[in-house]
Amino acid sequence: MEEADSTGSSHSAPKRLALLHSQNEKAAEAAFRLADCNDFVSLEDAEAVIALGGDGFMLDTLHSMLDLETVKPVFGLNLGTVGFLMNRHIQSCDLVERVAKARRFTVSPLRMEAITQSGERERSCAINEVSLLRETRQTAKIEISVNGRVRISQLAGDGVLLSTPVGSTAYNLSANGPILPLDSRMLALTPISPFRPRRWPGAVLPDSSRVTFRVHEPTKRPVAVVADQKEVRDVAEVHVEIARDKEMTLLFDPGHALDERIVAEQFLT
């Protein structure tokens, strides 16, 4: 049996599944029950991964995929709070059949390189967003360049973020950024509580863009950068672009796919 991805291409349906779960009690209990009626294999031998938990655990799971030689598709079951990146958890043992029917969505993370005030370089990937945030009561002042051209010479405010379509309904949306369709091939550049330029709403950029942030007065106005959960403090400069070599695949039940939820999110009141 074959499954189709978001572009209509076909793939052989995974049969060897690995099981990962968060540490919350509901997820642990569900994992115990599923292990009773499914023959799970190790992560290294699996063709796909079942992730039990919430959106935070899904992000942890996807980040763990980045360290593997072969990135595995991930089918999430929601046992957390929001579960935007997850499928509904149903008490059943038909996981192989359910995964075989799933739609595939390929997502590319952001690659972040941060240079600290001391000259150290830190690299990380972000599936949702890379955000720069002031560390103290002092307003952050940040220069923003796109593909080597300065677009904002000085953004004054709490910070700024660059979001993927997957992350556009998360922190980006809370900061009044735009919701991006999953297949838009765009990135959202969104200010966080901007003071100057006062009316700058942010920008939507092609995902081929390389964005550079430079911190003005970094000693007086220290800034941290966060790539999903990884934080680097006291940065002087940050470079962000799509990591084309780190594509990951999310699996969704038909009718419960991520692209539809991103569209539906725009009509919530």
Residue 199 reports pLDDT greater than 80:
yes
- Tell me the per-residue pLDDT of 15-69, one tens digit each, with 9 for 90 and over: 899 999 999 899 999 899 998 888 899 988 999 999 999 988 999 999 988 877 7
SS3 79: coil
Q: Is the peptide bond before 14 cis (omega within 30 degrees of 0)?
A: no
38 and 115 both lie in a single domain:
no
- Tell me the per-residue pLDDT of 96-127, one tens digit each, with 9 for 90 and over: 899 999 999 888 999 999 999 999 999 999 99
210 and 132 both lie in a single domain:
yes
- Tell me the per-residue pLDDT of 236-269, one tens digit each, with 9 for 90 and over: 999 999 999 989 999 999 876 677 777 777 777 6
The answer on whether 253 is annotated among ligand-binding residues is no
The answer on whether 147 is annotated among ligand-binding residues is no
69 and 37 both lie in a single domain:
yes
6 and 120 both lie in a single domain:
no
Q: Supply the pTM of this predicted model.
A: 0.85
Separation CA 48–CA 70 (nearest Å): 11
125 and 190 both lie in a single domain:
yes
pLDDT class for 6, splitting at 50, 70, 90?
Answer: low
170 and 93 both lie in a single domain:
no
The answer on whether 47 is annotated among ligand-binding residues is no
159 and 230 both lie in a single domain:
yes
CATH number at residue 228: 2.60.200.30
- pLDDT value of residue 41: 93
- pLDDT value of residue 264: 75
Domain range for residue 118?
A: 110-244
189 and 82 both lie in a single domain:
no
Residue 11 reports pLDDT greater than 70:
no
Options 5, 45, 55, 207, the catalytic residue: 55
Mean pLDDT of 154-163: 98
- Please say whether the beta carbons of 140 and 159 come within 8 A: yes
Catalytic annotation on 55?
Answer: yes
* DSSP structural state of residue 144: E
Q: State how many domains the chain has.
A: 2
The answer on whether 128 is annotated among ligand-binding residues is yes
178 and 84 both lie in a single domain:
no
Both tokens assigned to 230? 């990884």
Residue 223 reports pLDDT greater than 70:
yes
- pLDDT value of residue 1: 45
Main-chain phi, psi angles of 233, to 5 degrees: -95, 160
Main-chain phi, psi angles of 212, to 5 degrees: -120, 130
